């Protein structure tokens, strides 16, 4: 809802209402509700910038006369106005703990090529015949100890071998491998109906 025309807008970006400090302009007794740099030199160096607090009228006066480029040479102004200013500085690398190392950005002209290279490195191995494997299919193949390129015959042979190894009837009634047997049977049941083995 818009404010009526006879009432001035009381909401301003950056305003600190009910400020405890008074305006820093000499002789002004209004509350200092807006922050402004204490000096142009305050923006340089490693120390944090120095601020002063001004009322609305004096911050408007300050903004009208503020010149970001004051004190800069022509070359510094041109450098600050370039569309890609700042991109030539190398940024700090992210911490590398446990994950695969990303590709060197400097080896690529296009950042999208670098991102694609990283994901190509991390992509799981595909089947030679081009048949799809889901994440569950890959986990089931790992349970059976098979490679992604295994065919239906290799699947059946591996299943038979593991059932003989873990089934209590083939181990003198030993039931310690029951959970492994159940995971092998479940993996085989899912894989034999998967598109890669159809």
99 pLDDT above the threshold of 60: no
Q: Which one of 7-11, 107-111, 115-119, 126-130 scores highest in mean pLDDT?
A: 126-130
Give the up-direction half-sphere exposure of residue 151: CA atoms within 13 A in the CB hemisphere.
3
7 pLDDT above the threshold of 50: no
Pick the closest to residue 162 from 147, 182, 176 (CA basis).
182
Q: What is the pLDDT of residue 183?
A: 92
Q: CA 102 to CA 104: how far, in whole Å? A: 7
Residue 101 — pLDDT band, cuts 50, 70, 90? low
Q: pLDDT for 27-59, tens place per residue? A: 998 888 898 887 655 455 566 678 888 998 998
122 assigned to some structural domain:
no
Give, rounded to a whole angstrom, the gap between the first and last alpha carbons of the chain.
64
Number of domains present in the structure of the chain: 2
105 assigned to some structural domain:
no
16 assigned to some structural domain:
yes
* Beta-bridge partner residues of 17: none
Domain end, chosen from 37, 65, 82, is at: 82
Q: Could you tell me if 16 and 78 lie in one domain? A: yes
| Domain extent at residue 76 | 12-82
In this structure, how many other beta carbons lie within 10 angstroms of the beta carbon of residue 162?
Answer: 21
Q: pLDDT for 131-190, tens place per residue? A: 888 888 889 989 989 888 888 999 999 999 998 888 888 878 888 888 898 999 999 999
74 assigned to some structural domain:
yes
In this structure, how many other beta carbons lie within 10 angstroms of the beta carbon of residue 95?
Answer: 7
Q: CA separation (Å) from 174 to 4, 159, 166, 178?
A: 86, 19, 9, 9
159 near 144, Cβ under 8 Å?
yes
Q: What is the pLDDT of residue 23?
A: 92
Of all residues in the chain, the percent with pLDDT exceeding 70 is: 76
Q: What is the mean pLDDT of residues 107-127?
A: 73
77 assigned to some structural domain:
yes
Q: What is the pLDDT of residue 158?
A: 92
1 assigned to some structural domain:
no
126 assigned to some structural domain:
no
- State the DSSP H helix or E strand holding residue 35, giving kind and residue range, or none if neither: strand 34-37
Global pTM reads 0.41
Q: Which residues contact 78 (CB under 8 A, 6 or more apart)?
A: none
6 assigned to some structural domain:
no
Q: Which residues contact 190 (CB under 8 A, 6 or more apart)?
A: 136, 137, 140
**CATH number where 179 lies:** 1.10.287
Domain end, chosen from 54, 82, 110, is at: 82
């Amino acid at each position: 809802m818009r404010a009526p025309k006879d009432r001035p807008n009381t909401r301003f970006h950056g305003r600190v209402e009910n400020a405890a400090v008074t305006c820093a302009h000499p002789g002004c007794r209004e509350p200092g509700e807006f922050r402004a740099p204490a000096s142009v030199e305050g923006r340089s160096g490693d120390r944090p910038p120095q601020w002063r607090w001004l009322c609305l009228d004096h911050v408007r006066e300050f903004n009208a006369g503020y010149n970001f480029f004051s004190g800069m040479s022509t070359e510094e102004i041109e450098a600050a106005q370039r569309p890609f200013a700042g991109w030539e500085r190398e940024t700090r690398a992210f911490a590398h703990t446990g994950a695969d190392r990303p590709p060197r950005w400097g080896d690529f002209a296009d950042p999208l090529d670098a991102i694609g290279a990283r994901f190509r490195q991390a992509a799981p191995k595909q089947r030679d015949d081009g048949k799809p494997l889901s994440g569950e299919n890959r986990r089931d193949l790992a349970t059976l100890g098979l490679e992604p390129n295994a065919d239906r015959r290799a699947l059946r042979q591996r299943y038979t071998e593991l059932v003989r190894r873990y089934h209590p009837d083939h181990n003198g009634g030993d039931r310690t491998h029951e959970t492994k047997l159940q995971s092998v049977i479940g993996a085989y049941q899912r894989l034999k109906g998967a598109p890669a083995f159809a």
